[in-house]
Chain A
Amino acid sequence: MAVDATLATLSNQLVYSAMAVYTGAMAAVAVDLSGRGARVAGEAKVLVGPDGEPVGDVASVTPSAPDAGPQPRPRTKIGGIAVALTWLAFALHLGGVVARGASVHRAPWGNMYEFSVSGAVVVTAVFLAVLSRRDVRYLGTFVVGPVLLTLGLAVTVLYTRAAHLVPALQSFWLVIHVSVAFIASALFTLAFSTTVLQLVQERRELARAAGTPPARGRFMDNLPGSVELERSSYRLHAIAFPLWTFTVMAGAIWAEHAWGRYWNWDPKEVWSFVIWVVYAGYLHARATRGWDGRRSAYLALAGYGCILFNFLVVNIFFVGLHSYAK
Chain B
Amino acid sequence: MTDTMLPETAQPEPVRLPPLGPLGWARWAWRQLTSMRVALLLLMLLAVAAVPGSVFPQRRIDPTKVDGYLSEHTTSGPWLDRLGAFDVYSSPWFSAIYLLLFVSLVGCVVPRAKQHWKSARSAPPRTPRRLERLPAHASATVDATPEDALAKARTALRRRRFRLAEHDGGTSLAAEKGYTAETGNLAFHLALLGLLVSIAAGTLVGYSGQVTVVEGQPFSNVAVMYNTLSAGSRVDTGDLPPFTLTLDSLKVDFDNGSGGGQLGAPRMFTGAVTVADAGGPPSSRTLRVNQPVDVGGTRLFLVGNGYAPVLTVRDGEGNVAFSGAVPFLPRDSQYTSLGVVKVPDALPRQVALRGLFLPTAVVDPVKGPVSIFPGLTDPRLFLTAYVSAPGVDGLGLDSGVPQSVYEFDDKDLTQLTDDKGEPLRILLAPGTTFDLPDGAGSVTFDGIKRYAALDIRYDPAKVWVLGFAVLALAGLTASLFVRRRRLWARVSTDGEGRTVVEVAGLSRGDDTALEPLVREVLAEIAPQPQQHQHDPKDQHDPKQQDDEE
Q: Which residues of A contact B (CB under 8 A)?
A: 2-3, 8, 57-59, 62, 64-68, 104, 161-168, 170-171, 173, 231, 238, 241-242, 245-246, 249, 252-253, 256-267, 270-271, 273-274, 277-278, 280-281, 284-285, 287-291, 299, 306, 314, 318, 320
Contacts and interface: CB of A to CB of B under 8 A. Distances in A.
B538 A65 contact: yes
Contact of A265 (B61, B268, B473, B481): B61
A287 B7 contact: yes
Nearest to B480: A238
B261 interface: yes
Nearest to A172: B290
Contacts of A299: 44
A265 B462 contact: no
A190 to B, nearest CB: 17
Contacts of B60: 265
Given A259-B303, A270-B53, A163 B290 contact: no
A166 B265 contact: yes
A185 B344 CA distance: 59
**Interface size bracket, B side:** 35 or more
Contacts of A242: 473, 476-477, 480
Contacts of B515: 58-59
9 contacts: A64-B538, A167-B267, A245-B476, A260-B456, A260-B457, A263-B199, A289-B12, A291-B37, A320-B61
Contacts of B54: 265, 267, 270-271, 314, 318
Contact of A62 (B40, B267, B269, B538): B538
B287 to A, nearest CB: 12
A260 B289 contact: no
Contacts of A163: 255, 259-262, 265
B516 interface: yes
Interface of B: 7, 10-12, 36-37, 39-40, 43-44, 46-47, 50-51, 53-54, 58, 60-61, 88-89, 199, 208, 255, 258-262, 265-269, 288-292, 299, 301, 303, 455-457, 462, 465-466, 469-470, 472-473, 476-477, 480-481, 510, 512, 515-516, 535, 537-538, 541, 544
4 residue pairs, one from A and one from B, having the closest CB atoms: A163-B260, A3-B260, A167-B289, A267-B54
Given A64-B544, A260-B208, A281 B457 contact: no
Q: Which of B46, B54, B61, B537 has the most CB of A within 10 A?
A: B54
A168 B541 CA distance: 66
B510 A231 contact: yes
A132 B58 CA distance: 48
Contacts of A314: 54
Contacts of B11: 289
